[in-house]
Structure 1
Amino acid sequence: MTDQPSLGGPPPQSSVDPQVPHPARIYDYLLGGKDHYTADRAAAEETIRRAPQVRESARANRAWMRRAVRYLAGRGVRQFLDIGTGIPTSPNLHEVAQEASPDCRVVYADNDPVVLAHARALLSSTPQGRTAYVQADVRRPDEILTAPELWSTLDRDRPVALMLSAILHFVRDEEDPGGIVAALRDALPPGSYLALSHTTNDIQPERAANAAAVYGERRAAALMVPRPLDRVTAFFDGFDVVEPGVVQLPRWHPDGPVPPRLLDEVWLYGGVGRLHDG
């Protein structure tokens, strides 16, 4: 394999360092994608060596995202802000949302130039709906909230589903992940929702720590910080969490019976909350 990923769409507007692993490209590799460099593949393979469950966790996170979007669309949500988009893996969020309701509007945000190179795929939409892309970092929520593409695509007077799927575990404690969520929350219109998933160290702490350490050892663009259930639940401050609460991803509105092995292999919690009224 070469160090040139197969990219579509317009060229990135900022440089990519192929020697620095990036979480979006590592995730793409774990999902069986093709858009990654040697450094990303090496980091992913080392993570798999230390914790073979990471591939199952990645697949479970994508499946949870699809279920969460369908759930929200079923409750009348027609606007989505997906931060930490990652490289498109079909069906992507807008495809799921617009299958449920063709008039859904989606804004994607990510800081990886490789994701920007896929903007054309991300910006595809049904005629009734709209999509847009913002190149910005979750650590700087003001850049997202003031991006002209955001509120020219979404209606400030209608509910928005804020999607933080497997992104906050790449924000260190000193970067104030709770404050980031609060800043995004406070910009949401009434009736909005938060859908969030996050890696945990509750299930197999030693293996989780060893897997997360790869991001530091490989000098990745972001470190991974697994968190326990109470820390993940705290991100829902200001939201009423819907049933079944913040749970392991396979337990959240499953499409069928949950194989017991998944509860050992999926190291992520997730949940959905509705913004407090008033």
Structure 2
Amino acid sequence: MSEDTTQDSAGFATRARIDTSRPHSARFWNYFIGGKDNYEVDRELGDRIKEIFPGLVDVAVTSRHFLGRAVRHLAGEQGIRQFLDIGTGLPTADNTHEVAQRVAPDARIVYVDNDPIVLTHANALLTSTPEGRTAYLDADLHDPEAVLRAAAGTLDLSRPVGLMILNTLGHVADHQQAQGLVRTLMAGLAPGSHLVICDGTATSEGMIAASEAYNASGAVPYYVRSVEEITGLFDGLELVEPGVVRVPEWRPEEADDAGSGAPVDAYCGVGRKA
């Protein structure tokens, strides 16, 4: 069997795993940030949730802006040259490798997701500068040891890494389990590594109602946490100023549009491993 035939067969098998009858988190989020990689079922749910809680659009947009600011901070001010991005989602403008390699062309980035939808778009994440490198792992956050072993094929884990887990830990229902996953991942990274997290929070009745509507849709559930729980994910790390704050408030830049101006129901932070 030729290599092309093998790749075609693998691609068909991947596409066969895609369920277009139910909303999907990556496609739903893609719709909210203005992307095109979504289906009618995702748009219908998105429009319904916009009616319940229009502020979720601000969560999506400002979270994407936060990714850029955090990566620029790590690559520029902290000299991080390696990034491990777990819960990649669908490619869009200013992915982690694009932001990092603008600052440091030799940066290496490993994307991790276990979703067939994301896998079918993975080639869009593998456009690296000649000096750097990008890779995609079909792996699961719930098996952090396997993630670290696979990432070591591209990253030097004896040197600092920027661990990005954005809008992903909400899919882990149990908070203690989420803490344990983060702790295991950070334990496998060198001193000087940084943890970057943002997630939706149960900080308004609208956000809670939107979460309940989303979870009732048949999509993989996403659980919003308290601000205290988000802060607890950084236990044992040195929080970078300004600490755990609403997403638009983390080192804001004039180029970022904070959205409607209403408080955003998502919190974020960056922590450093001593």
Q: TM-score normalized by structure 2?
A: 0.90
**What is residue 184 of structure 2 aligned with on the other side?**
183
Following superposition, the deviation at residue 154 of structure 1 comes to 0.4
**In angstroms, what is the RMSD of aligned CA positions?**
1.9
233, 236, 241: which one aligns with 1:235 = 233
**Contact 2:199–2:266 at 8 Å: present in 1 too?**
yes
**What is residue 253 of structure 1 aligned with on the other side?**
251
**What is residue 269 of structure 1 aligned with on the other side?**
267
**What is residue 216 of structure 2 aligned with on the other side?**
217
Report the AA paired with residue 211 of structure 2. Answer: A
**What is residue 29 of structure 1 aligned with on the other side?**
31
**Contact 1:171–1:177 at 8 Å: present in 2 too?**
yes
CA distance in 1, matches of 2:145, 2:211: 28
Following superposition, the deviation at residue 233 of structure 1 comes to 0.3
SS in structure 2 at match of 1:164: strand
Following superposition, the deviation at residue 258 of structure 1 comes to 8.8
Deviation string 1:57-105 (CA, Å, 9 cap, x unpaired) is 1010000000000000011000000001110111111000000010000
**What is residue 11 of structure 2 aligned with on the other side?**
11
**What is residue 50 of structure 1 aligned with on the other side?**
52
SS in structure 2 at match of 1:11: helix
Following superposition, the deviation at residue 257 of structure 1 comes to 9.5
100, 104, 111: which one aligns with 2:103 = 100
Deviation string 1:199-238 (CA, Å, 9 cap, x unpaired) is 1112x1x211110012221110x21211111100000012
CA distance in 1, matches of 2:226, 2:272: 22
CA distance in 2, matches of 1:211, 1:135: 29
Deviation string 1:122-159 (CA, Å, 9 cap, x unpaired) is 01100000000011222222331232xx1121012210
Distance 1:61 1:270, change over 3 A: same
SS in structure 2 at match of 1:153: coil
- Structure 1 runs, 4 residues or longer, greater than 6 Å off: 257-261
Report the AA paired with residue 63 of structure 1. Answer: H
**What is residue 130 of structure 1 aligned with on the other side?**
133
**What is residue 206 of structure 2 aligned with on the other side?**
207
Following superposition, the deviation at residue 27 of structure 1 comes to 0.4
61, 66, 69: which one aligns with 2:71 = 69
Percent identity for Structure 1 against Structure 2: 44
Report the AA paired with residue 123 of structure 1. Answer: L
Q: Count the aligned residue pairs.
A: 262
Report the AA paired with residue 200 of structure 2. Answer: T
Distance 1:21 1:142, change over 3 A: farther
More moved, 94-103 vs 209-218: 209-218
